């Protein structure tokens, strides 16, 4: 029967509803995957569901009325009395993790939740126990624990307050002590320092920061001090631990011992320092060796040039002068020979001597350009430009407004460098034109630029090992310039020509000054005494070669209106004799010892403008002619031309004097 008076059941309906509820509860318990067991306060099992049968392997018939001890391993029998004692006190036990034994004897990890059962009077008459298998989870935890234990780095966990809850053996080895779980704190239990040795405050501790900020902390290094006082550098990696709700429950930290890394870093630094020291030593040795090689190369070049100059001087001072003297004597003999056959033979010999003299001059010029030593680098480069016409190269030489003087060694090396650059153009540039520009800048630095518009080349190929054509000379020039304290800059590209710039700071031994226009030499006017028609032309003859002087004198002595009043062998003799003898004409050799012929001419022309100075030389270079003219000479002629031209020139500049 069902009640019709509202929702309140009748007395007869209450037992039916209770039975219905109990049936539903029994069905729920029976279908649960968890083992649900009830027992009395003596530990005897009163109920056993299908979950218990699946978990432990026993049927309900086998377990109901049996003591629960059948499920407890021998080494854990003391757990049951403690559980029953807590139940009698009315306490609930939640998620108690332990180990139980199955029917087949295997052990399983379980989580127990135990609740007291009370009768209608509120008395505790038994307990309800829910057992859930956690073997898989516990095995994972054990595997993780084994993995952490096997790690070569210190790993530990803490609670939210920083108290250590777990750790591995590597942590114990690192700390030098074993912490007390739940008591020892990572921050505060050890002395912690900054990498520079300063004590680290608790708040700055990486783990403290991690727990305070609830985020991982990375990139810090610390030093911990063990109980024995030793210090260990470590790199901490603290990370917060959170529960399912995202709440902070603790932290996990990995401490990497940096001792070996620091030792390796120190060793690396020491090795690097040692390597750097050795590199510096080796570099210093190589630099010294390179400097010695450069100096040796320059010295070899200078030695070669000195030897070439010595040979050139020997050829000039002996062979050339001997040929000139021979031609002077031969010219006199030819004029006196009446026999045509003999005259023709002598003339033929004179032609051969002329060829020998020409060849000697060419050989002297190739061996050592006397212009370099006599007139300096600028004029010698002008001379070199003219000489390059013999090699089908037209060279334009441009000089700046500032003149300069260099020591012989520097001038020789620069001249040789420019000469090599020009010959490189001849051999490789495939052009017939080049330009040399000479200038001294405001910083007293000499610039010599050699450029062409030829085929050019790739400058980077200079350091290649292949195709060394022309490279050695260019590299040699660079070395040569560096030895002098200057440098050689090369700019080139295929099809775009080449520019080579030689730069040399002018040292104290080199001088530079603004160029001045050549001094205007007053035109020669015969001396007052020359108006006397009965007076002969008075001549001073200056030449450092006795044979040439004899040859010239024999020519001059053949004219009745000429008289040689003095002979000199050097420029100083020339100046002294002019001052004492006051001649009408001075025949001045260019190359003279003590004072060269150009300077002696300049002195005579400045002191005695009325005296005619006629320059002579074995060399017939235009630069020599110009230099003598600028110094004040009224004329210049090669020595071998004296026989045919000297008398004429004398009369041209002393027309009023005759017998």
Predicted confidence (pLDDT) per residue in 451-510, tens digit:
998 888 877 776 555 544 455 567 778 877 887 788 888 888 888 888 888 988 887 655
Report how far residue 157's alpha carbon sits from residue 241's, in angstroms, rounded to the nearest whole number: 9
Tokens representing residue 598 in the block: 């150009």
Mean pLDDT of the chain: 83
pLDDT digits (tens, 9 = 90+) for 535-571: 789 999 999 888 888 888 888 888 889 999 999 889 8
User: Which pLDDT score, from 0 to 100, does residue 520 have?
Assistant: 40
Bigger pLDDT: 239 vs 284 = 239
What is the pTM (predicted TM-score) of this model? 0.49
Give domain limits for the chain: 14-135, 151-257, 265-368, 372-514, 528-653
What architecture is domain 14-135? 2-Layer Sandwich (3.30)
Matching fold, domains 14-135 and 151-257: yes
Is the pLDDT at 82 greater than 60? The verdict is: yes
- Lowest-confidence pick of 189-198, 462-471, 592-601: 462-471
Give me the helix-helix angle, 340-367 and 321-336, nearest 10°.
160
Please check whether residue 162 is in contact with residue 211, taking contact to mean a CB–CB distance below 8 angstroms: yes
Going by pLDDT thresholds of 50, 70 and 90, the confidence category of residue 58 is very high
| Each residue's pLDDT tens digit, 26-42 | 666 776 788 899 888 88
Q: Compute φ and ψ for 407, nearest 5 degrees.
A: -60, 150
Give me the pLDDT at residue 8, please. Answer: 62
pLDDT value at 95 more than 80: yes
CA atoms of 363 and 311, how far apart (whole Å)? 10
Q: Residue 129 and residue 116: Cα distance in Å, rounded?
A: 9
Task: Give me the pLDDT at residue 163, please.
Answer: 93
Q: What is the pLDDT of residues 214-254, one digit of tens each?
A: 999 998 999 999 999 999 999 999 999 999 888 999 999 99
| pLDDT range class, residue 156, cuts 50, 70, 90 | very high
Q: Which two tokens stand for residue 647?
A: 């008398």
Report how far residue 598's alpha carbon sits from residue 611's, in angstroms, rounded to the nearest whole number: 15
CB-side exposure of 2: number of CA atoms within 13 Å? Answer: 3
What is 372-514's CATH number, 3.90.25.10, 3.10.20.740, 3.40.50.300, 3.30.565.10?
3.30.565.10
Residue 530, pLDDT score:
39
Average pLDDT over residues 87-103: 87
pLDDT-derived band at 586 (thresholds 50, 70, 90) equals very high
pLDDT digits over 337-352, tens only?
778 888 788 888 878 8
Higher pLDDT, 598 or 402: 598
Q: Going by C-beta distance under 8 Å and a sequence separation of 6 or more, which residues neighbour residue 475?
A: 462
Q: Is the pLDDT of residue 369 over 60?
A: yes
Q: What is the CATH number of domain 151-257?
A: 3.30.450.20
**Cα angle: 524, vertex 526, 529; to 5 degrees:** 155
Indicate if the pLDDT at residue 513 is higher than 70.
Answer: no
Given a cut of 70, is residue 107 above it in pLDDT? yes
Domain 528-653 belongs to what topology?
Answer: Rossmann fold (3.40.50)
* Over residues 406-412, mean pLDDT: 83
């Amino acid at each position: 029967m069902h009640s019709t008076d509202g929702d309140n059941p009748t007395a007869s309906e209450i037992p039916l509803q209770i039975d219905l509820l109990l049936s539903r509860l029994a069905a729920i318990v029976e279908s649960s995957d968890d083992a649900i067991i009830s027992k009395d306060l003596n530990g005897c099992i009163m109920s056993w569901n299908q979950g218990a049968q699946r978990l432990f392997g026993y049927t309900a018939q086998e377990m109901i009325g049996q003591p629960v001890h059948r499920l407890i391993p021998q080494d854990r029998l003391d757990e049951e009395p403690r559980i029953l004692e807590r139940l009698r006190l009315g306490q609930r036990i939640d998620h108690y993790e332990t180990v139980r034994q199955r029917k087949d004897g295997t052990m399983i990890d379980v989580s127990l939740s135990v609740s007291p059962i009370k009768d209608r009077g509120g008395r505790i008459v038994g307990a309800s126990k829910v057992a859930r298998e956690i073997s898989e989870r516990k095995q994972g935890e054990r595997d993780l624990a084994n993995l952490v234990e096997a790690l070569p780095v210190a790993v530990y966990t803490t609670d939210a307050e920083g108290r250590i809850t777990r750790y591995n053996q590597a942590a114990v080895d690192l700390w030098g002590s074993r912490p007390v779980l739940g008591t020892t704190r990572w921050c505060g239990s050890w002395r912690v320092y900054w990498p520079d040795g300063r004590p680290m405050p608790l708040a700055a501790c990486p783990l403290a920061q991690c727990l305070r900020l609830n985020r991982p902390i990375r990139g810090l290094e610390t030093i911990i001090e063990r109980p024995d006082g030793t210090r260990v550098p470590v790199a901490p990696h603290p990370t917060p631990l959170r529960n399912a709700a995202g709440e902070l429950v603790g932290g996990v930290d990995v401490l990497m011992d940096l001792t070996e890394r620091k030792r390796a870093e120190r060793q690396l630094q020491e090795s690097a320092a040692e390597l750097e020291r050795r590199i510096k030593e080796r570099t210093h040795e190589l630099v010294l060796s390179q400097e010695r090689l450069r100096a040796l190369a320059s010295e070899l070049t200078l030695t070669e040039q000195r030897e070439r100059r010595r040979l050139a001087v020997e050829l000039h001072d002996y062979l050339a002068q001997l040929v000139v003297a021979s031609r002077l004597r031969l010219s006199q003999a030819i004029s006196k020979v009446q026999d045509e056959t003999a005259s023709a033979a002598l003339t033929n010999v004179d032609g051969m001597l002329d060829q020998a003299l020409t060849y000697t001059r060419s050989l002297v010029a190739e061996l050592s350009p006397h212009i370099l030593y006599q007139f300096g680098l600028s004029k010698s480069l002008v001379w070199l430009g003219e000489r390059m016409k013999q090699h089908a190269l037209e060279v334009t030489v441009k000089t700046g407004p500032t003149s300069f003087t260099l020591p012989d060694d520097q001038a020789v090396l620069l001249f040789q460098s420019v000469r090599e650059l020009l010959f490189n153009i001849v051999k490789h540039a495939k052009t017939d034109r080049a330009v040399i520009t000479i200038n001294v800048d405001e910083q007293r630095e000499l610039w010599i630029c050699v450029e062409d518009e030829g085929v050019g080349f790739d400058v980077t190929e200079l350091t290649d090992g292949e195709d060394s054509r022309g490279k050695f000379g260019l590299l040699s020039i660079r070395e040569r310039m560096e030895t002098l304290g200057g440098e050689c800059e090369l700019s080139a590209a295929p099809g775009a020509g080449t520019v080579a710039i030689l730069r040399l700071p002018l040292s104290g031994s080199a001088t530079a000054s603004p160029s001045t226009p050549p001094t205007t030499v007053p035109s020669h006017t015969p001396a007052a005494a020359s108006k006397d028609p009965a007076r002969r032309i008075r001549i001073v003859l200056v030449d450092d070669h006795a044979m040439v002087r004899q040859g010239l004198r024999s020519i001059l002595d053949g004219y009745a209106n000429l008289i040689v009043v003095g002979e000199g062998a050097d420029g100083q003799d020339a100046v002294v004799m002019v001052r004492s003898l006051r001649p009408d004409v001075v025949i001045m050799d260019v190359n003279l010892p003590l004072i060269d012929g150009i300077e002696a001419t300049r002195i005579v022309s400045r002191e005695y403008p009325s005296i005619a100075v006629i320059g002579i030389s074995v060399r017939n270079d235009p630069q020599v002619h110009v230099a003598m003219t600028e110094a004040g000479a009224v004329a210049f002629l090669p020595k071998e031309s004296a026989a045919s031209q000297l008398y004429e020139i004398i009369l041209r500049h002393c027309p009023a004097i005759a017998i």
